[in-house]
Structure formats: structure tokens, C-alpha cells
Structure 1
């Protein structure tokens, strides 16, 4: 009897933990950002939208440079919190927006998502702040967006930094089948804490996990658990299709500004690999090779490999990452 009670009690632990996990609104209402969220209100595609962003002044001696941080698809501007602290301490002004469709920003039901549109929105935000020269740092999907921003607005970008960007290979050209937005939406509706954690543990952190990563999983899972689950899932499906169908790798030779590639070698991120034939999936996401290939294509590229780190070196090993980042920013 006591063994049965013990087994029953242990079985209840995961559900109790799940019940205690945070629930957030569709624009991350209830989540605490490391700095105050400001709002850029604008009209796009015949609708009124609002973009949440942090604007953090230098806490150290100002060096006159502004950095724009672009988050990944499974991340938010808040995930940059340690980078924001380090950069501001070293004299940089830091702008960290949540892109439309993500995190604290509007979740439009009808919106044609494209990297060009998100870059256009970001340029409008910077113009509203009277900023005309920036260093752009993009992580994961944000690397694809940062590349598109640099291609479309090269006069604004004094330096480009790509942190484990996805899109260093063209998955569709490699043989990954297309998935319709409706199909991806049905999959997104099944998203929860455990699914997000499992994916990140496998592809981002080489099977390893640290308790401090949970906060970023809770950040995402909380939106799926809240009242805005359907619109959150819909925008995620739309942006997944955007990532798959809008590669930037074929234009890397047109990037003219100094570009710093910070690449964690344990990363194996490859969107769509789960629906690809086994022989295709096995060759995707080889970041050591992808990083070298990208560095050889970009005119003024500097490659800094982190062989023992994964998809998010700024989260996994902040001291190592920020030392390399600050050196790369200084050496431009």
C-alpha cells in the first residue's frame, strides 16, 4: 500500500510542476523584462501594430555606438539580458526589439511575414529614434533577419554580427519537404514546456541542460498556455514558413560591411529536418562546416568558433561569449 502511495505521489509531481508554471498573455503580459518595455506604434499592411522594445543607455563611458539585438524564433528580446548588461557597461547604447508576431509585440491575424518586412519595421523604429548608424547582432532566426537588414540598408550598418544564425544552408534546396502553414499550425497547437525543452536540449545544447535555461522555456511556453494560444501558434506557424522559404545564404557575397561570425560548434539546428528523409536530415545543421563556408563567402568576415558550445553561446557560456564579442566589436 505504501509503495502504491509513493508511486502515485511521484506520478503527480510532473503535473503539479506543470500547474505551477507561469501563464502569459499573447504579448507576454505578466512576464518581467530586464528593462522597461517601450512601444513603437505604427501602421503596416493596413493595420495598427505595436512593437515592444528595450532602449538601454550606456552605463559605462559612452562610446557613441548603438547596437541593435535581433532575437531568434524561439527567443525574445529578454533572452539578451546578460548581453545587454555587458554591452551597456562597455559604453554601447542597446536597442532590443521584439519583432512583430513575437513576444511583447502585436500578433496580427492577417499578416504577410517576410524578413524584408520585419527589416523594414525595424528600420522604421530606428528612424523614429533618430538613429542612422548601428551595429546589428542577430542570433538564430535573428541572424537571417540581421542579414536581410544589412542587405537592404547597408548604409545604416557599420558592423554585422551573426551568432549561430540559422539559414547558413538552404533546407528546401537540400531536400527538406515543404510543410503548409496550416499543417505547422496544428503542430504548434501541441507546443508546451516539455516539447520546447526537449527540442532545445537535443539541438541547442548537445543533450545537456542547466536549470537556468528553464526561465527561457517558461517564457515561451507561458504564451502557449495562455488565452492567446491560437494567435501565438498561428504567428509561429507563419514565421516558420518564412524561415523555410526565404533563405539569405545565396546573397552572403553581397554583404559589404565587416561581419563577425560567432559559431557554437555543437549546434545542430536545422528547421524541417524532422520531416526530411534520414539521409538528408543527417547531413543538415553541421555548424562547424556551415560557419567556415559562410566566412569564406562573406567579403569581410571574421569567424570565431566555440567548438564546445551549442546554439546559444551567449546563454550557455556568457563570459566566453562576451569576451569574444567585445573583442570583435573593438577590432572592426
Structure 2
């Protein structure tokens, strides 16, 4: 098996969680910081303090064989640790980019804080990582929830960001306009009841998955192992806090104010909209028109455009890797 295939398999295995059926044999549990799960590149840890709590931020820092003097910062989505970026990491390093890929605090191999998550805190943590690595300016490539974080970083630290590539970002609408507030305790209860088959259907529906079933199964297995951790309740609380962060801290109103050249890369079939099941039935159909939302926002921005890839869903860089890589490198090449 090629090194790329190994890295991609590792990335896909790392991605998503669900709950094991009672009949399934016991598994060796992952720790809540994904201890026991291998990432495709070496992982380092940056000590941080958030709201008085000592935490560690995990990240990969991959050097290219032939550097072009530029750095790409990859920001992951809510359900995905940084490892799922493996194919894009290879594309960028082969093009000469140094690639920095953090797990945000609350995700992947980073600490799960006791307090609530906030985009401003994640943005500040990410800039602290760039300072630690001595990186003045980056090209941000972000996916899903990472797109919301990219907007916050681009607005709060404009001089640190050269270009923005928003890959199937969420947050292109204000979900509070459709979804009533949901108590954290209720979301925890719902997530804890989720079955493996229910989670598979949730992924297929929410993300319009184009991947074959055998590639989806490892996403689900990761949560089986995670639930076996003694610290699973702490992970679950942090995971639910990330939903509340997305809901309570919209960025759509800031997107037109971005000054950096910005490229939206959207899957035509991506209609992901956090909280849609809790919206009144009459409003659900209005949510998640993501490709159209991206195109409309691009027209309001100083220097932006939206590219929509047909027959691709929320995981557009895995659904259509050749088209995605071409758009990515052409944009960054400018």
C-alpha cells in the first residue's frame, strides 16, 4: 500500500463517532484525546491557558520537500479531527507549502476543556500556535465549522491571513433565525442515545456522503471506541458545547466584511444545516441552501468567488479530490 493510501486510511479512521450495539464484542477504547489512534504525521502539543484552565493544543507541522516560502493553515470541522486532512496535506506539501494542521481545543487530540467553547478563544489559541511556530502569515484552508473559525480569525487578525479557502463552510446563515434554543442537557441526552445505525443515517443525510459504505464505517467505529473511555462524559459535554458555539456565535454577518481574497468551494449536494431537526417543519426546507448562500455572499465581498462542484456533498475534498485540488492550487497560485 502506498504512503498516501496509508495516510488517507488513517485520516478516514480518525473522523467520526457513534455508539456500539449491545451485541458487539468489547473494543479497546480510545481516550477522549484520541489516545490509541494514529495520525498520519507526528503530533506535537502546545500548552495553553483558557479561562484559567491548563490545556494542550495538538497540531501537525509538515514541511515540504521543496519549500515555496508559504504556509497553509488547515482548520477542521466539528465532527472531524485534523487527521482527515491527509489528502489535502499531501497536495499542499507537494506544491511547496509548509502545512500546519491543529486540532482545536475541544477536538481530536487536544484537551477537552471543562468550560464552554467560543470562536474567539479558538481564534486566539490558533494565533498563539502561529506565534509559537514563528509564522507571520498563512493561507487558511478551512472546512465546515472550521470555516466559521476562519472568518473570526480573518476578521480579528487580518494581517495574519493572506487568502481564505472556505471548503463547504457552515455558518453561511444565522441558525437562530430558524432553530429555537435547545438546553445543553437535552442535546447531551440525544447524542448519548444515538445508535451506530442512526449515526450512519445522520452522516449520509446531513453530509450527502458520496463515499462507499466501507469508508463510512471507520468514521462510525471511532465513536464506538471513544465511548469506551472512562472520560466519555467529559468528551460528550465538550462536543455538545461546540454545537452551542455554532448556534450562539453566528459569523454570517461578518463574512461580507472580510478583506482577504476568498474562495468558497462548495458541494452541489451539500445542504448541511446544524439544528435543522429542531426547527419548525415549515422552516426546515429553507435551511442549508449552502451553494446558493455562498454565491450570494461572494457578490457582497471585496474579492471573493464561489465554485460549486457537482455530485459532491459536505466532504467535497474527499468526494471530488481532483477538482478540489485544482481549484485550491489555482487560487493559491494567484
Q: 1:45 to 1:307 in 2, by over 3 A?
A: same
Q: 1:292 to 1:228 in 2, by over 3 A?
A: same
Partner of 1:184: 187
Partner of 1:11: none
Q: Which of 138, 155, 164 in structure 1 is aligned with 2:142? A: 138
After TM superposition, list the pairs within 5 Å mapping 1:83-94 onto structure 2: 83-94=88-99
Q: Which has the higher contact order (CA 8 A, sep 6+)?
A: 2
Report deviation, 1:201. 0.6
Q: Secondary structure at the match of 1:103?
A: coil
Matched, 1:161 2:193: no
Report deviation, 1:22. 6.0
Q: Any gaps of 5 or more consecutive residues in structure 1?
A: 1-13
Q: Which of 249, 261, 269 in structure 1 is aligned with 2:252? A: 249
Report deviation, 1:209. 4.2
Within 1, Cα distance between the matches of 2:57 and 2:317? 24
Report deviation, 1:171. 1.2
TM-score, structure 2 normalization: 0.89
Q: 1:155 to 1:92 in 2, by over 3 A?
A: same
Report deviation, 1:17. 8.7
Matched, 1:71 2:44: no
Within 2, Cα distance between the matches of 1:15 and 1:223? 14
- 8 Å Cα contact 2:81/2:108 also seen in 1: yes
Within 2, Cα distance between the matches of 1:279 and 1:208? 31
Q: Secondary structure at the match of 1:189?
A: helix
- 8 Å Cα contact 2:256/2:298 also seen in 1: no
Within 1, Cα distance between the matches of 2:26 and 2:316? 29
Q: Secondary structure at the match of 2:253?
A: helix
Report deviation, 1:119. 0.3
Within 1, Cα distance between the matches of 2:310 and 2:46? 39
Matched, 1:298 2:304: no
Within 1, Cα distance between the matches of 2:22 and 2:240? 29
Number of corresponding residues: 315
Matched, 1:278 2:281: yes
Partner of 2:107: 102
Superposed CA deviations along residues 177-220 of structure 1, whole A, max 9, x for unmatched, are 11121221222222453333221111212587442233333334
Superposed CA deviations along residues 278-332 of structure 1, whole A, max 9, x for unmatched, are 111111111221121121222210211112100011122222211221112112x
Within 2, Cα distance between the matches of 1:33 and 1:104? 9
Within 2, Cα distance between the matches of 1:22 and 1:199? 25
Q: Which of 259, 264, 267 in structure 1 is aligned with 2:262? A: 259
- 8 Å Cα contact 1:54/1:97 also seen in 2: yes
Q: Secondary structure at the match of 2:221?
A: helix
Partner of 2:241: 238
Q: Any gaps of 5 or more consecutive residues in structure 2?
A: 1-19
Partner of 1:126: 130
Q: 1:45 to 1:178 in 2, by over 3 A?
A: same
Q: Which of 19, 29, 43 in structure 2 is aligned with 1:37? A: 43
Q: 1:155 to 1:192 in 2, by over 3 A?
A: farther
State the Cα RMSD in Å: 1.9
Q: 1:323 to 1:218 in 2, by over 3 A?
A: farther
Report deviation, 1:19. 3.0
Q: Secondary structure at the match of 2:57?
A: strand
Within 2, Cα distance between the matches of 1:44 and 1:15? 36
